[in-house]
């Protein structure tokens, strides 16, 4: 995976989290701050950066074909991660995972890949009013080639 691909994937997460690159301050040492740049983003290598993303995804509540996905749950095991959407009607619903046949080099890398897989789907399908358009609904299963 190239540095540019990592940077773009981290920017995708930052956008989801509402992080404003260039406007927020980045502290790289106590007392030393500068405007946040995209190369400061550390979602791919820091649990301190990635876990708030996991928590935000777990708290999402969206509608799919009239069924409400009440919550998303992460399963993290060894170097594998899966994100499942749970509804009242059927469990599990949609799911997103570490790309099939790809072995990440670490647990955080596996979670980071699954988060990016999920966010690509989320950004494509979730409208501002938090309702998924019927015709465009696609559940992602290892489509991410990162």
- What are 98-118's pLDDT values in tens digits? 666 677 889 999 999 999 988
CA distance 135 to 5: 29
pTM of the model: 0.76
Question: Is 61 domain-assigned?
Answer: yes
The answer to whether residue 39 is domain-embedded is yes
Q: Which of 62, 83, 61 is nearest to 137 (CA)?
A: 62
Range of the domain at 111: 3-125
Burial bucket for residue 134 (CB in 10 Å: 0-12, 13-18, 19+): exposed
Instruction: Tell whether 140 is covered by a domain.
Output: no
CATH number of the domain at 17, please: 3.30.2120
Counted domains in the chain:
1
Low-confidence ranges of the chain (pLDDT < 70): 27-29, 63-67, 88-101, 125-146
In a domain, 46, yes or no: yes
Domain presence at residue 117: yes
């Amino acid at each position: 995976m190239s540095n540019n691909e990592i940077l773009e994937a981290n920017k995708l997460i930052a956008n989801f989290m509402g992080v404003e690159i260039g406007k927020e301050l980045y502290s790289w040492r106590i007392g030393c701050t500068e405007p946040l740049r995209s190369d400061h983003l550390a979602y791919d290598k820091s649990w301190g950066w990635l876990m708030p993303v996991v928590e935000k995804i777990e708290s999402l509540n969206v509608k799919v074909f009239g069924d409400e996905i009440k919550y998303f749950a992460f399963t993290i095991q060894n170097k594998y991660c899966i994100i499942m959407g749970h509804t009242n009607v059927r469990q599990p619903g949609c799911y997103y995972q570490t790309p099939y046949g790809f072995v990440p080099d670490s647990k955080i890398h596996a979670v980071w890949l699954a988060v990016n897989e999920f966010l690509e789907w989320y950004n494509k399908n979730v409208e501002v009013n938090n309702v998924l358009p019927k015709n465009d609904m696609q559940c992602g299963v290892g489509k991410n080639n990162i």
